[in-house]
Structure 1
Amino acid sequence: MSERRSNSRMRTFWKGTILYPGGLRSIECTVRNFSEQGVRLDCGAVRDVPDHFDLKIPQKSAVFACTVVWRKDNEIGAGFVRPAPGAEADSLSEKLKALEAQNRKLMRKMQDRDDDGWG
């Protein structure tokens, strides 16, 4: 059988926690292998696992956004979801612009109060 992965995987026996969207539920799992692109998880009921979830891996001190690629017996193959290159920077830029606009609005309100004799 030929290897279809573009990155090598590392066999592991790590504890993991699948965090359901909304944070209301979680289940424990075992991370059987890990690569830059995804993981193979051993968990009891794979039908209960949503198609998109966060995976907490204490040994990596990280939480990964995942999407299910395959399900078989008690195992799940999941890929890591990465934002498009520059998407995070664009998001921060948009947040900064919104905060600057909010700041200007508040400054105008303060100036209007000072002009009306509030200060």
Structure 2
Amino acid sequence: MSELRTQIRQRTFLKGRINFNNGNASIDCVVRDMSESGARLALSHTLTLPETFDLTILGKNQTRRVKLCWRQNDSVGITFLDAAEAAPAPPPTLAALQQRIRQLEDENQTLRRLLSEALTTAAAS
């Protein structure tokens, strides 16, 4: 593949969400190799994406309108269509917040168990 981009992309590892079909469909992705003008998205599986869609970059709380430029295996290249500063992501839904709380509670429980095991092992030594 020839190098067509004009800006150097920085390596990134940010959680993203592709939104399309008027917000009725979304797919999780990882935002990789991002620049001011575009990025490479890593997808967990190959699927059909529309020519344009919204990309929410969760770690940066940004939603950008993007255009699909290329596809190769489990990656796609995109160009940012919005030249202005990225708009903040819309607030999460109640269901999304409840799911995140459950995930955090599970992580908290696991960490408490691991700490307890570590303290027990340390006390026995």
Amino acid paired to 2:63: V
RMSD: 2.0
1:21, distance to aligned residue in structure 2 (A) = 3.1
- Residue 82 of structure 1 is matched in structure 2 by 82
What secondary structure sits across from 1:59 in the alignment? helix
Q: Contact 2:67–2:81 at 8 Å: present in 1 too?
A: yes
1:37, distance to aligned residue in structure 2 (A) = 0.5
The higher radius of gyration belongs to: 1
2:72 pairs with 1:72? yes
TM-score (norm 2): 0.60
- Residue 42 of structure 1 is matched in structure 2 by 42
1:46, distance to aligned residue in structure 2 (A) = 3.8
- Residue 9 of structure 1 is matched in structure 2 by 9
Aligned-residue sequence identity (percent) comes to: 38
Instruction: Point out where structure 1 has 5 or more consecutive residues left out of the alignment.
Output: 86-119
What secondary structure sits across from 1:22 in the alignment? coil
- Residue 18 of structure 1 is matched in structure 2 by 18
Instruction: Point out where structure 2 has 5 or more consecutive residues left out of the alignment.
Output: 85-125
1:56, distance to aligned residue in structure 2 (A) = 0.2
TM-score (norm 1): 0.63
Q: Contact 1:66–1:81 at 8 Å: present in 2 too?
A: yes
